[in-house]
Amino acid sequence: MKESLTIGKLATASHVNVETIRFYERKGILKQPKKVGAFRHYPHHYIARIKFIKRSQELGFTLKEAGELLSLSVKSQSKCGDVLEKTEEKIHEIEKKIKDLKEMKKSLERLANCCEDRSLPLSECPVLECFMVKGKEK
Amino acid sequence: MKESLTIGKLATASHVNVETIRFYERKGILKQPKKVGAFRHYPHHYIARIKFIKRSQELGFTLKEAGELLSLSVKSQSKCGDVLEKTEEKIHEIEKKIKDLKEMKKSLERLANCCEDRSLPLSECPVLECFMVKGKEK
DNA sequence: CTTGACTCCGTACCATGATACGGGGTTTAG
DNA sequence: CTAAACCCCGTATCATGGTACGGAGTCAAG
């Protein structure tokens, strides 16, 4: 039966709840599969799709964005050019997140160092300032 | 009046909604300031605090985590050692996020390259596989 | 053919992070 | 003194991303 998973099997295999799969379908994130009788039957590659969604979410994409990324990979009627554009957009978003996180890390390291130097009560330590140096106006 | 902002002034200055500030106070994320009569009066540095919360959130921390980070900076009764520990924990979390984002970026770049080579319909392109190579079991 | 496991669907509910509303009190400028 | 502008508080509502429930249909083994 490698070509057909019930929703329960799919859920187990991709480590999510059955309800979550139904939820994704209602939201249009996951394409509804063909039904055999009244029951959904999923091709095996849906496991990869769900894992992809979960991975995307872990990396800070919303469910909707995860769906967009997924559909880039899946829509065979789209041209490579279209895909490229959206993909590069996402790459830039990721780069920005990385950059911001690095700044945040630096701020925290400054805080850490600022404490390492002396084992004083924190009141002696200009911490908040330490944090805020790179605070940007938006 | 550099030492006293009403909630409205604070909200304007830190680019959030008045309700958001009240919400943070209800949740214990932001310490309630002294009241002058019935009205909250905030020291000027609350602007920095709120900005800090917002910055943390942008970087993928929950409100609760943002509050924890903030309180690291603010609690003068905590010892540097305690702070150091929590701070380093957060640094590791950030490092992990950066690492994951870099992997995601690589995956997206592989997808992009895979499209760049040929301007074919995507159906010719083994995209989903391209994405999933680093998919990890959890 | 029955029984148990699984599925169907709709609806309700949960947490998080806000945002809005409404009836009242206060404060300040004219 | 009065009216606008602001603040108080509680409560309701919203979006996101699920999770749970319950009554009914279905499928597969014995």
Structural domains for chain B: 7-77 (1.10.1660.10)
Which residue from A48, A122, A128 is facing B83, i.e. has the nearest CB?
Answer: A122
Please indicate whether, in this complex, the C-beta atoms of B59 and A111 are within 8 angstroms of each other. no
A29: which nucleotide lies closest, measuring CA to C1'? D17
Query: Is strand D within 7 Å of residue A132 (CB)?
Result: no
Q: What is the pLDDT of residues B38-52, one digit of tens each?
A: 999 999 989 989 998
Distance CA A30, CA A9 (A): 16
Interface membership of B125 toward A (CB under 8 Å): yes
The alpha-helical segments, DSSP class H, found in chain B are 7-14, 18-26, 46-58, 63-74, 80-116, 127-132
Interface membership of B115 toward A (CB under 8 Å): yes
Residue B61 confidence (pLDDT) above 90: no
In the three-class reduction of DSSP (H, G, I as helix; E, B as strand; rest coil), residue A128 is classed as: helix
Residue A44 confidence (pLDDT) above 60: yes
Top-confidence residue, B98 or B134: B98
8 A C-beta contact, residue A98 and residue B98: yes
Output the pLDDT for position A46.
Answer: 94
Query: Is strand D within 7 Å of residue A18 (CB)?
Result: no
B32: which nucleotide lies closest, measuring CA to C1'? D8
Amino acid of residue A20: T
Residue B109 confidence (pLDDT) above 50: yes
* Residue A49 confidence class, pLDDT cut points 50, 70, 90: very high
Q: What is the pLDDT of residues A107-134, one digit of tens each?
A: 778 777 766 554 444 444 444 444 444 3
Q: What is the pLDDT of residues A57-92, one digit of tens each?
A: 877 789 998 998 888 766 655 556 666 777 788 888
Output the pLDDT for position B53.
Answer: 92
Question: Per-residue pLDDT averaged across A44-48, rounded?
Answer: 92
In the three-class reduction of DSSP (H, G, I as helix; E, B as strand; rest coil), residue A42 is classed as: strand
Alpha-carbon separation of residue A38 from A34, A95, B113 (angstroms): 10, 45, 41
Interface membership of B131 toward A (CB under 8 Å): yes
State which of A37-41, A91-95, B115-119 shows the largest mean pLDDT: A37-41
Interface membership of B108 toward A (CB under 8 Å): yes
Query: Angle of helix B46-58 relative to helix B18-26, nearest 10 degrees?
Result: 80
8 A C-beta contact, residue B42 and residue B33: yes
Residue B32 confidence (pLDDT) above 90: yes
B18: which nucleotide lies closest, measuring CA to C1'? C19
Which residue from A77, A88, A127 is facing B112, i.e. has the nearest CB?
Answer: A88
Query: Is strand D within 7 Å of residue A63 (CB)?
Result: yes
